[in-house]
Structure 1
Amino acid sequence: MSCPALIDFEASCLPEYGQSYPIEVAVARTDGSSRAWLIRPVDAWRYWDWSDEAEALHGISQQLLDDEGLPPAQVLAEMAAFVNGCPVYADADLDQYWLEVLCQGVGAGLPFPVHYLGEFLKERGYTRPQVVTALEEAKRRLPKEHLAREDAKRLALVVRLLLEGTV
């Protein structure tokens, strides 16, 4: 297993458009392994906001969540097991927020903190041109966006390319 792990959420809408809740989460490690989960909404979220614009981006409908989403407690347990002690990073602070909402939905504590990816890159001394080059290469290899499972894999690939020094 290779650390760190990268996390990405999709949500019912962006917070500036209302009270959002997590609908999909994915975690990818730099060794290429990844997991993704559709999240069945808890009853309290049924009255929160849903954005048709967000649905158009990620392609996840409320019906899909009802049909194929997993219970949030199961998602948290499986996600924590997959992370398995790796430090977890995200490219936006919203991912920490949605992890907190997910945990609050089932009355659970945070299984791990989510750190900002920019801090990881800065601590290791990567320059902006290095990061941009790695991101461009990762986008070339994994072009789909606004899907947690693809976004997390792309972020993990960026980190792997930088760690390997291949870009």
Structure 2
Amino acid sequence: MTLPTLLDIEASGFGRGSYPIEIGLARADGSTCAFLIQPLNEWMHWDSKAELLHGISRGRLQREGRPVSEVARWLNDELSEIGLAYSDSWGYDNTWLSLLFHHAGMMPRFRLEALRRLLSEPQLSRWKSTKEALVRERGIVRHRAGEDARLLQLTYLRTRQAGA
């Protein structure tokens, strides 16, 4: 079975003025990759509660983050061939992705879809408990984009196998 490509975004917070700070992918082969994003000068919103969750400081983003255009180019290079990635928080992630590409002056060469579209009712009913079990079993660090994308992919795989 081919695994779906999952995309996850960590952000400066939620709501108006928030922006992407880390984007991670879990590829069809199970490998992961993630990049911190250097905030633009006009991206001022910062939620300290969000920082407590993901553990990424604004200072670290300024030091280690990649420029917006570089991250957008990387996403297009990674995803244009398959043309599709999935997210479990489509409403937020699609908004942040659009913001990233807008500021990069580029168009995405792929579509982001809601992960829910891939899931059967039995998968949905097992999703939360399966995801929690995987976090415990594997000691997965939550709220980092690459790890979260892989967790979603593993949860998809296990809930699918359980229904087979």
Q: Indicate conservation of the 8 Å contact 1:30/1:157, yes or no.
A: no
Residues 105-124 of structure 1 mapped to structure 2, 5 A cutoff: 105-122=103-120
**Would the alpha carbon gap of residues 50 and 81 (structure 1) be closer, same or farther in structure 2, given more than 3 Å must change?**
same
Identity of aligned pairs, percent?
34
2-structure distance, mates of 1:86, 1:144? 28
Displacement of 1:133: 4.7
**Would the alpha carbon gap of residues 85 and 22 (structure 1) be closer, same or farther in structure 2, given more than 3 Å must change?**
same
Structure 2: segments with no counterpart, 5+ residues: none
Give the match for residue 52 of structure 1: 48
Q: Indicate conservation of the 8 Å contact 1:76/1:111, yes or no.
A: no
Q: Indicate conservation of the 8 Å contact 1:4/1:88, yes or no.
A: yes
Q: Indicate conservation of the 8 Å contact 1:80/1:111, yes or no.
A: yes
| Aligned residues between the structures | 159
Q: Indicate conservation of the 8 Å contact 2:123/2:159, yes or no.
A: no
**Would the alpha carbon gap of residues 132 and 109 (structure 1) be closer, same or farther in structure 2, given more than 3 Å must change?**
same
2-structure distance, mates of 1:91, 1:3? 15
TM-score, length-normalised on structure 2?
0.85
TM-score, length-normalised on structure 1?
0.84
Residues 79-118 of structure 1 mapped to structure 2, 5 A cutoff: 79-83=75-79, 84-85=81-82, 87-92=84-89, 93-118=91-116
Instruction: Give CA-to-partner distance per residue, 1:129-157, whole Å, 9 cap, x none.
Output: 34345323322224321111211110011
RMSD: 2.0
